[in-house]
């Protein structure tokens, strides 16, 4: 059975990058039933950057409402049985549509996830950003989505499955994809994995995700919302994620936001701190994680980098042996 497929692209002044994105689909147009573009109140309309020969419908919003709103808008406009969300500054590899179509014909499911490559200033950063190989059984999808950040262009989804789960949470300005995939995984979808990278993302300093205080802060907000939705048995995994987000916020100087993450981690369950040095774990268990972060800050100022690196390597080796 042939299933219809809609490609849904959110655009906000990516300009020529949208052209590159659409050109990467040019040879695959016979496998895509429609391309929809959401213009999120951009200063430069996307119509100027749509190559000849590509038929795309454009919808414009006059006020900037963010990608979560845009994806939900396109989801409701899409005619396809399956939808693929994509950012205008990312692109497709030549075999993307063919490989997706093959899965839809042989094993129709609720979601298909592919690996992702990342580039920065034209240079390859990672050939496999996500590490999908870690999802060895269906029950591993939910903890994987908590522990990692499943990226927007990785997935293709059954439209009605996404609609039934409510689409994207629009009150999250950032990390909406983190929240989306946890909620999706929590509904136990039937899914297939393609372990080869079929899409590429571009790491840009001007992109929204580089505003780390917003991205990390909204990831913590997502965990607060998710605690009442995911099984209690998964709360220790949520606690571990909140702990790690708090550490990153603290190290970048966002102390108030870090404190909220530490508080949430403690409410969800005691984090293991296995990713931290042994002294950090001892201080955190007795004086709290914020105290451990202050001690770690002093440690980084006093102890040379080489000594700290050797200590991290020993801790990593010890943790690997314990597993």
Give residue-wise pLDDT tens across range 78-124.
Answer: 999 999 999 999 999 999 999 999 999 998 899 999 999 999 999 99
| Residues 17 and 81 occupy one common structural domain | yes
| Residues 195 and 55 occupy one common structural domain | yes
pTM for the complete prediction? Answer: 0.90
Tens-place pLDDT, residues 271-308: 988 888 888 889 998 999 999 999 989 878 887 777 65
Q: What is the pLDDT of residue 276?
A: 85
Structural domain boundaries, residue 294? 275-323
Q: What is the pLDDT of residue 313?
A: 65
Listed in sequence order, the residues at least 6 apart from 318 whose beta carbon sits closer than 8 Å to its beta carbon are none
| Residues 53 and 176 occupy one common structural domain | yes
Band of residue 315 on the pLDDT scale cut at 50, 70, 90:
low
| Residues 122 and 261 occupy one common structural domain | no
Q: What is the pLDDT of residue 178?
A: 97
Total domains in the chain come to: 3
Residue 193 dihedral angles phi and psi, to the nearest 5°: -115, 135
Instruction: Give the separation between CA 223 and CA 186, rounded to whole angstroms.
Output: 13
Helices 212-226, 255-268: crossing angle, 10 deg rounding: 20
CATH value at residue 24: 3.90.550.10
Of the residues 147, 175, 205, which one is the last residue of a structural domain?
205
| Residues 189 and 103 occupy one common structural domain | yes
| Residues 26 and 89 occupy one common structural domain | yes
| Residues 157 and 244 occupy one common structural domain | no
Q: What is the pLDDT of residue 229?
A: 95
| Residues 30 and 53 occupy one common structural domain | yes
| Residues 233 and 281 occupy one common structural domain | no
| Residues 224 and 200 occupy one common structural domain | no
| Residues 311 and 221 occupy one common structural domain | no
Band of residue 1 on the pLDDT scale cut at 50, 70, 90:
low
3-state helix, strand, coil in the chain (%, to 5): 50, 20, 30
Tens-place pLDDT, residues 203-258: 977 665 567 788 999 999 999 999 999 999 999 999 999 999 999 999 999 999 99
**48 with 20: CB under 8 angstroms?**
no
Of the residues 187, 205, 223, which one is the last residue of a structural domain?
205
| Residues 123 and 238 occupy one common structural domain | no
Tens-place pLDDT, residues 122-138: 999 999 999 999 999 99
Burial (CB count within 10 angstroms: exposed 0-12, middle 13-18, buried 19+), residue 305 = exposed
Q: What is the pLDDT of residue 311?
A: 64
């Amino acid at each position: 059975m042939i299933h219809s497929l809609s490609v849904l692209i959110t655009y906000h002044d990516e300009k020529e990058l949208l052209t590159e994105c659409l050109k990467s689909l040019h040879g695959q147009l016979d496998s895509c039933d429609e391309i929809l573009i959401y213009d999120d109140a951009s200063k430069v309309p996307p119509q100027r950057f749509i190559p000849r020969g590509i038929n795309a419908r454009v919808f414009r919003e006059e006020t900037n409402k963010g990608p979560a709103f845009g994806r939900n808008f396109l989801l409701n406009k899409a005619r396809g049985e399956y939808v693929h969300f994509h950012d205008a500054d990312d692109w497709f590899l030549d075999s993307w549509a063919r490989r997706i179509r093959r899965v839809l014909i042989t094993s129709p499911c609720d979601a298909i996830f592919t690996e992702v490559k990342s580039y920065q200033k034209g240079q390859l950063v990672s050939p496999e950003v996500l590490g999908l190989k870690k999802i060895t059984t269906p029950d591993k999808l939910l903890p994987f989505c908590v522990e990692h950040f499943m990226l927007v262009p990785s997935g293709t989804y059954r439209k009605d499955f996404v609609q039934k789960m409510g689409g994207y949470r629009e009150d999250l300005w950032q990390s909406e994809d983190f929240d989306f995939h946890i909620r999706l995984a929590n509904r136990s979808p039937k899914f297939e994995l393609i372990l080869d990278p079929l899409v590429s993302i571009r790491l840009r300093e001007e992109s929204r995700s580089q505003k780390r205080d917003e991205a990390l802060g909204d990831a913590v907000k997502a965990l607060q919302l998710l605690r009442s939705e995911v099984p209690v048995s998964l709360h220790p995994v949520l606690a571990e994620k909140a702990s790690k987000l708090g550490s990153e916020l603290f190290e970048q100087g966002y102390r108030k936001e870090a404190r909220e993450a530490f508080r949430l981690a403690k409410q969800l369950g005691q984090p293991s701190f296995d990713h931290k040095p042994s002294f950090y774990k001892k201080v955190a268990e007795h004086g709290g994680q914020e105290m451990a972060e202050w001690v770690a800050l002093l440690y980084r100022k006093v102890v040379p980098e080489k000594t700290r690196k050797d200590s991290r390597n020993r801790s990593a080796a010890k943790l690997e042996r314990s597993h």
